[in-house]
Structure 1
Amino acid sequence: MASDTAQEHPAPPSPGLPLAVAFANTLVAVRGKVRDTVGTPEELTGWLGSEADAPGLSVDEADLAAFRALRDAVRAVLHAHAEGEPVPAAEVGRINEASAAAPRWPVLTAAGTGIAVVQRTGRDGFPAALAALAHGTADLLGGPLAAELRACHGPGCVQFFVKDHPRREWCGPACGNRARAARHYHRQREQPV
């Protein structure tokens, strides 16, 4: 059974988005409230199959909690990077720990700007799926798209995007429309009557 929040507010489509951004964007804001679009183990199985190329995994509540913990770490690192703030070392450590659960994994440097080492282990299944999400974060922040990573500043938005056009300022058209409407509203209120 799917959660009410995911039925009402499905995860936005993420074609062309880097995996780390699609992962971070499984949290959405609806009418000023943050909603989780991956709220049940079944929804997690579906998301991993469609977005992380890990179909058919059997996951439980503990796996869902691990998914959310890694997502929180990725969101914190992406936010810090997008805003030009220091990258939180504890969250980088959490990402690197998840990354280490894969047969091959990159290790993100503490500065959050590159890949430092590649090592090996013999794990698979759900830990490998989380590792793929951590790898996506390392690939994004260590690659050419890192300079184009942005946090959407649309009213109430919590999404990230990669700026793929010089004039792009929001994660999508709806945030752009809300921002323009808010600017228009404020201009109208400031005009003398």
Structure 2
Amino acid sequence: MFPLLGEPLPIDLVNTRVSTGDLLTTPAALAAWIDEQSDRLPPLARVELAPVLTLRDHIYAAVQAARIGTAPPPKSLSALTEAHRAAPLYGELSWTGSAVTTTPRRAADATTLFLATLAEATADLLTSPAITKVSQCEGPECLLLFLPAHPRRRWCSPKICGNRVRVARYYHRHKD
């Protein structure tokens, strides 16, 4: 259902807007996306849709600007900072029986926690040298972003857009 490419969390969220429309139009769709990302997220109860969509727009604007080396909109940076600030990270100390360990935690409701997690992941991406490598798929009508592991990668997925382009090229060469 979702084009999960294994990209950083903010890119996978931005990629829920596809050429055919928005894949996060209902709370159930958001819950399904969160469920598919559960290995990268803290346990979450019900997350409100509207604030996630608003933050997704700010993530998109910030990533699009930063990936080409221009200043992200101040409004987007402020929104990401506020989302991150709303649920500060703290270390929960515990005893394992032989040593003290710390586990990162945030105290907040599910929506605030989710937004803070997204903001933190976006901050990591925006401040990484890899941000300038984020690319947009060259597939016709594809809007997906990706972080190429190989410098010659041109499509979000070789099995989807890459195959479509190759098939179209083959058809064009052999149509007569």
Match of 1:94 in 2: 79
**Residues 56, 123 of structure 1: alpha-carbon distance in 2 compared, 3 angstrom cutoff:** closer
1:177 is the counterpart of 2:163:
yes
Match of 1:58 in 2: 46
Q: Which has the higher contact order (CA 8 A, sep 6+)?
A: 2
Match of 2:23 in 1: 37
Aligned-residue offset at 1:145: 2.4
**Residues 77, 180 of structure 1: alpha-carbon distance in 2 compared, 3 angstrom cutoff:** farther
Aligned-residue offset at 1:128: 1.0
Verify the 8 A CA contact 1:103 1:124 in the aligned structure 2: no
SS in 2 for 1:169: coil
Verify the 8 A CA contact 1:48 1:55 in the aligned structure 2: no
1:148 is the counterpart of 2:139:
no
Larger radius of gyration: 2
SS in 2 for 1:145: helix
Task: Write the mapping of 1:114-133 to structure 2, written as runs, cut at 5 A.
Answer: 122-133=107-118
Q: Where do 5+ consecutive residues of structure 1 fail to align? A: 1-9, 106-120, 189-193
Matched residues, number: 158
Percent of matched pairs sharing the same residue: 38
Q: Where do 5+ consecutive residues of structure 2 fail to align? A: 91-105
1:21 is the counterpart of 2:11:
yes
Verify the 8 A CA contact 1:82 1:151 in the aligned structure 2: no
How large is the Cα RMSD of the aligned pairs? 2.8
Aligned-residue offset at 1:131: 0.8
State the alpha-carbon separation in 2 of the partners of residues 47 and 181 from structure 1: 30
State the alpha-carbon separation in 2 of the partners of residues 123 and 66 from structure 1: 15
Aligned-residue offset at 1:53: 1.8
Match of 2:99 in 1: none
State the alpha-carbon separation in 1 of the partners of residues 165 and 61 from structure 2: 24
